[in-house]
Amino acid sequence: MATAPPQPLSDHDLATVDRYWRAANYLAVGQIYLLANPLLTEPLSPDHIKPRLLGHWGTSPGLNLVYAHLNRVISARDLNAIHITGPGHGGPATVACCWLDGSYSEVYRDVPRDGAGMARLFRQFSFPGGVPSHVAPETPGSIHEGGELGYSLSHAYGAAFDNPDLLVAAIVGDGEAETGPLATGWHGNKFLDPVHDGAVLPILHLNGYKIANPTVLARMPQRELDDLLRGYGHDPLYVSGDEPRDVHQQFAAALDTALDRIAAHQQEARSRGSAAASRPRWPMIVLRTPKGWTGPKEVDGQPVENTWRSHQVPLSGLRENPEHLEQLAAWLRSYRPEELFDEHGRPRPEVLGHVPSGDRRLGSNPHANGGRLLRSLPLPDIRRYAVEVIKPGATLHEPTRVLGALLRDVLRATDERRDFRVFGPDETASNRLQDVYEASGKGWQEEILPVDEDLARDGRVLEMLSEHNCQGWLEGYLLTGRHGLFSSYEAFIHIVTSMANQHAKWLKVSRELPWRMPIASLNYLLTSHVWRQDHNGFSHQDPGFIDHMVNKDPHTIRVYLPPDTNSLLAVAQQTLDTRDRINIVAAGKQPSFDWLPVEDAVHHVHRGVSVWDWAGTDTGREPDVVLAAAGDVPTMEVMAAASLLRAFLPKLAVRVVNVVDLMRLLPPRDHPSGLPDSAYEAVFTTDKPVIFAYHGYPWLIHRMTYRRAGHDNLHVRGYKEEGTTTTPFDMVVRNDMDRYRLVMDVIDRVPGLALTAIAVRQRMNDKRTEHHAYIREHGEDLPEVRNWSWT
Amino acid sequence: MATAPPQPLSDHDLATVDRYWRAANYLAVGQIYLLANPLLTEPLSPDHIKPRLLGHWGTSPGLNLVYAHLNRVISARDLNAIHITGPGHGGPATVACCWLDGSYSEVYRDVPRDGAGMARLFRQFSFPGGVPSHVAPETPGSIHEGGELGYSLSHAYGAAFDNPDLLVAAIVGDGEAETGPLATGWHGNKFLDPVHDGAVLPILHLNGYKIANPTVLARMPQRELDDLLRGYGHDPLYVSGDEPRDVHQQFAAALDTALDRIAAHQQEARSRGSAAASRPRWPMIVLRTPKGWTGPKEVDGQPVENTWRSHQVPLSGLRENPEHLEQLAAWLRSYRPEELFDEHGRPRPEVLGHVPSGDRRLGSNPHANGGRLLRSLPLPDIRRYAVEVIKPGATLHEPTRVLGALLRDVLRATDERRDFRVFGPDETASNRLQDVYEASGKGWQEEILPVDEDLARDGRVLEMLSEHNCQGWLEGYLLTGRHGLFSSYEAFIHIVTSMANQHAKWLKVSRELPWRMPIASLNYLLTSHVWRQDHNGFSHQDPGFIDHMVNKDPHTIRVYLPPDTNSLLAVAQQTLDTRDRINIVAAGKQPSFDWLPVEDAVHHVHRGVSVWDWAGTDTGREPDVVLAAAGDVPTMEVMAAASLLRAFLPKLAVRVVNVVDLMRLLPPRDHPSGLPDSAYEAVFTTDKPVIFAYHGYPWLIHRMTYRRAGHDNLHVRGYKEEGTTTTPFDMVVRNDMDRYRLVMDVIDRVPGLALTAIAVRQRMNDKRTEHHAYIREHGEDLPEVRNWSWT
């Protein structure tokens, strides 16, 4: 350390970034505390203070510093850049910065960039009916909600994929860095193609403390931290200090170095081409500054700056405590607001010297309002992939395998545009979507060996054994205006339940913001589902993600359970190019019966719930019983039950119903897709027993239909947490959803059946007993079950 | 690399570990393939092959290698050790090893350690009614289900805490290592006290491939991998090769070195004492061997060994393909089974030369069947902490704060035993449990600065900003026979939904295994809940974890919603020392009204559902309406509504009901705690309107009660995903659960009310309008709401 530190900033530039930083800090403090008197034009009095002090100061000065410096380099280099705020509790910082750069007032015209606007800016923050305390959909320039920590890097990589000109500056909090998702988020660099993708610049902000504790990364020995970051594949640049001028110079130097290196890596890779490129050691910055920097050093004799005590609101009780009030006034004045704002409250030109123009501003970059860039997805005609169905229930196909061909052609159709990707945790082929590799390899920037198959530097299929990264990458990709699909083992989508929560919340809030343009829906393909875990058993059996998501905003959530291959294609057609939704599609990968020719499948999916006349025995008469199914395995069991009933109780009028769009079951007041009562009753009747075989937990169907007439006649079979490694039919028997049980259910519930019915019931019961004996002996299902077909 | 590699194994020891390894490999292959002819006493024919080939071979030889070598060092050093199998898909390996060491046959007497037992061992694997394909509760010596990847290290640290003599060998798969939870699991070493805790020895098994892809860690440049592991705080020892004798020598040397270093670190720390100790750089081993090692090198001309193709079943179609059958026979014979098993199928003594005795065996160590070690938790009398309640609804307390005092004394009472811990992601104090620090600091092995508070090397309160680690540590702690509690922000418990799934499955299966002794329940305290996110807003509002868990095995799940401080204490008393359950307690941290003296609270919690006679106006008569609440905020609104009704409609007979034990609502056939219909009807009536204010999503109450008589009269208010940063009362207004809305609901649903009721309804509606105006103006709730009290 004998050499003088670099001084890349001229005095003028230094003054400019420092003014922006001070202005943003002033505005952050103002938002937390002030209800009035924003420019301190009168002495601060208790009346000027908010009655409830809410917000997070601690991380704000660091966020403001980064923003101020990004302004400089964006302007100097004409960069196309967005930023992601991992420590997103620091909402006042980001709001302050994009109010300063003018973006805020352009989308919120009632908050102009002047004194009146500043007053409103302060008042609305964390105020009822105002703006939330975190970085949120309401924050211009953000694609990242800052409330739940851990996803900044996966969002950043998702934004950078297929955006070769984009720089994504990702600020990672040192609290956030302790989370699992963030800890593996670093490995995104193994999937970033320097030729076709943009750059991610991680800025690890070590401010030392969380809510109440030091952070792990800030307290590691420096050598270990350096090893860790190098181990993650980065060349770290360190910035450390608490003297602003010095930190400005250090940070500017680090930023210049990082951007030079990124440009050099990209230039080199792009001159060589994807195939010859190898993963660069991308730069990153470690910014070590005090938590709550420039805030009160001590309060009531306790150290505050550079401790966890500055996490939220360092000074409280201001309405009662004149000393604290005086401290706040001194704190605000320490930024010298008179140098920063003119007498009308407008930022002075000297503050805005580095602010980029128009869409180059971080608060206005269209990539952070991805709907502005979104193009319609080119979907081929599904009839090209449809399987021929001459007779229902006679042929078998693997639904996801056929879907794979369609997805392949979507990848092909977007080969130039590069705005569609498929994500999955090492399971794309296991989930039988392998045809996609004909159109695009699996993105991979590590060494590729001769034995490897389908790996490609420029691949748009991404597979990493981290559901968190798959989800975060896809979210980042969608939020920046592209399309995608996440295929997952059904049980393990629960790993990202909490991320899905946050994305649903984002979509709900965005829908209410006129300036946020709709983005492409998040499409889940849940496969390798509960009923076919022959290899893996109980740990892989959990259909509850649907239950969970059904509680979210109904305008966002759709759930599809296609009964066969053509229905899955029709669902894909109906969902893949939608907007602002979360589409959950649960479909099997195992060979399963074809029921519907493609045109019928399209109509079925369009209606969502259909009576399958050809399968029932109620033609031209009132049904005695309704047999309903939702899901591929339930459909097969219901069809088998229907054929048993046709054979053994031919006089019984059985109506067969299939539900492919689950939300149709909800009343229209609870969901926009809900069937009107009249339509529901026309299908399910109001007074006949309904035996309903459902893909997941049976209680969900009750929860959705309890207000429907005839609900008391509804009897639902489904998965009731009885699982193990066993045969497909044994799984349905264990959960009482097998064909024999369904026939028994019918007999038990239809009143006035003849004596023959008792014999049939006994026969069904015997079949179940026979199953148990046979499977113990042979380890296989009964031949009549294995060889069953509808016709 | 000029020096010869170390050769710590004598020829005799080398032969012994190699024999155990070969025997285990043979048994693993046999489990996957053979239905009969286990000892190959006759030529292998298609009849001997299972009809369905299921299981995972790829990782098995590596797991067997580690087990064989652990046997040696456990015997040589008289170690107290357990192992955790991160790549737990390799169930056949672990089953093979503990059958060889005799543990398996001791708990499964129908699977003796002889030829008949071997036949059964093979047949049952992944066979209907048999044992699962993964390491699972059924596997002796395991505390770790291997189906869902990511938790081996957090389980390992949980097992090691407060077990100073225990060594936990944690095998981490390189697929698993890509997950988020595992990526931050490494940081467990920052929380491991070398004085009071045992040791974790991570063994990173780089076998190169996942299901279908290379792994990130295996393909990193060696230098980067080394940096990463050093960055995680370890000194890695590398073992690499595919020649068994060489790998045995390398691995034995690495294991000896690692164990010597662990012993030295522990000795040094223990001689200095906790306070003076610092975090050692713990050793770890990187084991780089081929996936599917010793299996078929090629199948049908495709390379298999050392590729992803050996992940599951390398040879298939054996019943039809004689060439594959011949390959299998050669593969099995390559282990020279005649050297390993005698003519009765018993392992030869030369195979078992290193097997430790009795409880020292990995398959029999009592720490892996923690119920064997579990002691009853010393719970103090809750009356010592109870708050005085002279009049209901007159005083305020912070419920979690009072609970903190009780937890403090549980920590004190276990100060010597060290078998109780409190876990939380940096939120123990934020959740107002800070009194616990009087009994124990927060465990922390990094540098401690003068400004820090409550950090301690030997602390039993663990806080890291990783819900995954908190959950995994607690699971590991419970599974090895101790007690604990996890306090979390309610919304962010969703981060570990999937882990909670797996723990619930573990408990369900364990309950059915007579040899698995009951373990302490997993206790969740969900606080900072949906209704009081004044600081954080929408992202922090999600009460859906309860909905999710209610789908699980009813014998496992309990949900408590204590209405006040004393009720929370009573819930703690009723749950903390239970067994084999997941207890979910949702309780606020904000000052809230006291309703029940402690004795009443105990009775209330014992009953689960109570009529609060003193709050209603139905004494001595049939109620006109039932006002029910579950949760602290709903209780306050229901009580306020009841007092409004008493004032404005004094003739109306209002019954006030409180639900603290949510599962009571379920019918007894669906849950062991379910109220009999008669008891349910005695409280809720069968024909009166019930207005129910619920803590979470209202549909859950319908899902639980749809079979109850009178369900059609039930009207539930709760959280319907309307959230933001706002005041407490505005939150309930936004979700239509406020007192005024509840009174309106009553008026709307009670038939035949007099004309006065219409005026009252209008008045309530006006109050809601007034609220909206007031809050926009003042940012605070109406004074009459802020100042409201029951009496």
pLDDT tens profile B649-682: 999 999 999 999 999 999 999 999 999 999 999 9
Chain B hits for A55, CB-CB cut-off 8 Å, are 535
In a domain, B505, yes or no: yes
Judge contact between A101 and A362, C-beta under 8 A.
yes
Residue of chain A nearest B502, judged by CA positions: A539
Residues in CB range of A205: below 8 A, 6 or more apart = A59, A62, A63, A66, A86, A87, A171, A172, A173, A174, A287, A289
pLDDT the model gives residue B1: 42
Which residues of chain B register pLDDT less than 70? 1-5
Our CA-based measurement puts residue A312 at a distance from the nearest CA of chain B, in whole angstroms, of 9
Closest Cβ–Cβ partner in B127, B706, B730 for A702: B706
Q: How many domains does chain B have?
A: 3
Residues B109 and B151 in one domain: yes
Cα A588 to Cα A572: distance, rounded to the nearest angstrom:
14
pLDDT the model gives residue B337: 97
Neighbours of A748 (CB within 10 A): 13
Q: What is the mean pLDDT of residues A249-255?
A: 98
Residues B348 and B389 in one domain: no
Chain B hits for A185, CB-CB cut-off 8 Å, are 180
Residue B676, chain A, CB below 8 Å: the answer is no
Cα B227 to Cα B204: distance, rounded to the nearest angstrom:
14
DSSP string, B303-367: E-TTSGGGSS-SS--TTT-HHHHHHHHHHHHTT-HHHHB-TTSPBPTTTSTTPPPGGGSTTT-GG
Residues A55 and A145 in one domain: yes
pLDDT the model gives residue A275: 76
Neighbours of B763 (CB within 10 A): 14
Is A147 in contact with B444 (Cβ distance < 8 A)?
no
Residues B198 and B250 in one domain: yes
For A791, B45, B69, the CA distances from B97, given in Å and listed in that order, are 49, 26, 11
Residue of chain B nearest A730, judged by CA positions: B128
Residues A70 and A186 in one domain: yes
Interface residue of B725, B782, B786 to substitute, partner A, most A CBs within 10 Å? B725
In a domain, B9, yes or no: no
Is B128 in contact with A779 (Cβ distance < 8 A)?
yes
**pLDDT at residue A537 greater than cutoff 90:** no
Given B314, B338, B369, the domain boundary residue is B369
Closest Cβ–Cβ partner in B214, B224, B491 for A233: B224
Residues A400 and A359 in one domain: no
Residues B157 and B112 in one domain: yes
Tell me if residue A597 falls in helix, strand or coil.
coil
Residue A698, chain B, CB below 8 Å: the answer is no
Given A317, A338, A368, the domain boundary residue is A368
Banded model confidence at residue A129, pLDDT cuts 50, 70, 90: confident
pLDDT the model gives residue A583: 98
Q: What is the ipTM of this complex?
A: 0.97
Q: How many CB pairs under 8 A join A and B?
A: 350
Is A446 in contact with B219 (Cβ distance < 8 A)?
yes
What sign does the CA torsion over A248, A169, A426, A466 have?
A: positive
Residue range of the domain that includes A769: 611-786
Strands (E) in B556-634, as ranges, are 557-560, 582-586, 592-593, 609-611, 625-630
Closest among A736, A748, A509, A527 to A637, alpha carbons compared = A736
Residue A556, chain B, CB below 8 Å: the answer is no
Residue A303, chain B, CB below 8 Å: the answer is yes
Our CA-based measurement puts residue B699 at a distance from the nearest CA of chain A, in whole angstroms, of 6
In a domain, B443, yes or no: yes
Interface residue of A138, A226, A305, A426 to substitute, partner B, most B CBs within 10 Å? A426
Residue B11, chain A, CB below 8 Å: the answer is no
Query: Residue B238: left (phi > 0), alpha (psi -120 to 50), or beta?
Result: beta
In a domain, A2, yes or no: no
Query: Residue B537: left (phi > 0), alpha (psi -120 to 50), or beta?
Result: left
Closest Cβ–Cβ partner in A190, A548, A779 for B544: A548
Question: What's this model's pTM, rounded to 2 decimal places?
Answer: 0.97
Cα B619 to Cα B353: distance, rounded to the nearest angstrom:
78
DSSP character at residue A169: E
Give the domain CATH number at A550.
3.40.50.970
- Both tokens of A443, joined, read 């993105």
Between residues 494 and 513 of chain A, which touch chain B (CB distance below 8 Å)?
494-495, 497-498, 501-502, 505, 508-509
Cα A712 to Cα B711: distance, rounded to the nearest angstrom:
10
Is A214 in contact with B455 (Cβ distance < 8 A)?
yes
Q: What is the mean pLDDT of residues A396-404?
A: 96
Q: What is the mean pLDDT of residues A683-704?
A: 97
DSSP string, A28-56: HHHHHHBSS-TT--S---GGGB-SS----
Residue of chain A nearest B467, judged by CA positions: A179
Residue B133, chain A, CB below 8 Å: the answer is yes
Residue of chain A nearest B489, judged by CA positions: A148
In a domain, B4, yes or no: no
How many CA atoms lie within 13 Å of A685's alpha carbon, on the beta-carbon side?
A: 21
In a domain, A4, yes or no: no
Closest Cβ–Cβ partner in B134, B444, B464 for A178: B464
Is A230 in contact with B229 (Cβ distance < 8 A)?
no
DSSP string, B721-765: S---S--HHHHHHHTT-SHHHHHHHHHHHSTT--THHHHHHHHHH
Judge contact between A286 and A236, C-beta under 8 A.
yes
Is B227 in contact with A225 (Cβ distance < 8 A)?
no
Residues B566 and B627 in one domain: no
Judge contact between B103 and B147, C-beta under 8 A.
no
Between residues 399 and 438 of chain A, which touch chain B (CB distance below 8 Å)?
426-430
Closest Cβ–Cβ partner in B190, B466, B538 for A509: B538
Residues B582 and B675 in one domain: no
pLDDT tens-place string over residues A20-48: 999 999 999 999 999 999 999 999 999 99
Residue B484, chain A, CB below 8 Å: the answer is no
Chain A hits for B51, CB-CB cut-off 8 Å, are 778-780
Residue B711, chain A, CB below 8 Å: the answer is yes
Residue B348, chain A, CB below 8 Å: the answer is no
Residues A393 and A538 in one domain: yes
Interface residue of A110, A184, A590, A712 to substitute, partner B, most B CBs within 10 Å? A184
Given A592, A619, A636, the domain boundary residue is A592
In a domain, A515, yes or no: yes
Residues in CB range of B735: below 8 A, 6 or more apart = B717, B718, B719, B720, B722
Closest among B152, B202, B209 to B181, alpha carbons compared = B152
Residue A358, chain B, CB below 8 Å: the answer is no
pLDDT the model gives residue B3: 56
Is A497 in contact with B501 (Cβ distance < 8 A)?
no
pLDDT the model gives residue A5: 65
Give the domain CATH number at A737.
3.40.50.920
For A131, A674, B396, B447, the CA distances from B596, given in Å and listed in that order, are 38, 43, 12, 46
Chain B hits for A738, CB-CB cut-off 8 Å, are none
Closest Cβ–Cβ partner in B220, B501, B730 for A446: B220
Our CA-based measurement puts residue B381 at a distance from the nearest CA of chain A, in whole angstroms, of 30
Share of chain A above pLDDT 90, in %: 92
pLDDT the model gives residue A592: 95
Residues B151 and B174 in one domain: yes
Chain B hits for A726, CB-CB cut-off 8 Å, are 128-129
> Helices A756-778 and A632-648 sit at what angle, rounded to 10 degrees?
130
- Both tokens of B1, joined, read 């690399």
Chain A hits for B228, CB-CB cut-off 8 Å, are 227-228, 230-232
In a domain, B5, yes or no: no
Closest Cβ–Cβ partner in B228, B449, B540 for A231: B228
**pLDDT at residue A2 greater than cutoff 50:** no
Interface residue of A48, A178, A589 to substitute, partner B, most B CBs within 10 Å? A178
The H helix count followed by the E strand count for chain B is: 25, 22
Please classify residue A512 by burial: count the beta carbons closer than 10 Å to its beta carbon, then call 0-12 exposed, 13-18 middle and 19+ buried: exposed
Banded model confidence at residue A536, pLDDT cuts 50, 70, 90: confident
Residues B431 and B350 in one domain: no
Residue A230, chain B, CB below 8 Å: the answer is yes
